[in-house]
Amino acid sequence: MSGKAAIGLVLAAVLSAVSQPIPAEGDSLTVLTINVWSGLDYRGSLKMGEYEEKLAFIQRVAGSSPAILLGDFNALADSEEIGLLRQAGFLHVFELAGSGEGFTWDADGNPNIQLQRRAYPDEVPEDPRNKRIDYIFVRGSGLRVTGARVVLDRPLNGQYPSDHYGVLAEIEVR
């Protein structure tokens, strides 16, 4: 499995994993999706515990093999939670080859967020700032990120597909 692949994220519902052999490297590429249930405004040991538990799962499944981790992390780029992933060797595709700010949460521009606030006022933060809370990370040799951008950030037939915008990365598997 070598060449260029587009890896996209719209919404990752659960943590799951798929491994695919990379013949040229004699290794496997593990692709994992994640959705951290603890919200953006939640801090404390529960959220870090959730990250530590998911990272332990990733280590068990992927070991030292190349890996792609993508999903809804509900954490800002400079947060302790994302720092934990960086310490484990994961690199954010937007920082490697992204264009634009990479915001995936637009509280002012995405009406789906306004609907959520009305329906769940205690669960959706009032902070109107744009944020990057959805990511694609890569780790290991044999992966080269050649591009990254936000997608699904405009309405289609008057509707946004989600309260989160998508992330699309072009990754060469060598």
Contact criterion met (CB below 8 Å) for 34 and 84: no
The structure tokens 């990379």 sit at 22
- What does 101-162 look like in DSSP terms, one character per residue? ----B-TTT-HHHHHHHHH-TTTS------B--EEEEEESTTEEEEEEEEES-S-BTTB-S-
Three-class DSSP category at 96? helix
Query: Dihedrals φ, ψ of 79, to 5°?
Result: -80, 160
- pLDDT tens, residue by residue, 38-96: 555 555 556 788 888 889 988 888 888 899 999 988 888 888 889 999 999 999 999 99
CA diameter of the chain = 52
In this prediction the pTM is 0.82
User: What is the pLDDT averaged over residues 113-129?
Assistant: 77
Contact criterion met (CB below 8 Å) for 136 and 9: yes
Note the pLDDT of residue 34.
84
pLDDT at 14 over 50: no
Out of 3.60.10.10, 3.40.50.150, 3.60.20.40, 3.40.640.10, the CATH code matching 3-89+117-173 is 3.60.10.10
Q: Which helix (H) or strand (E) holds 89?
A: none
SS (H, E, C) 13-74: CCCEEEEEEECCCCEEEEEEEEECCCCCCCCCHHHHHHHHHHHHHHHHHHCCCCEEEEEECC
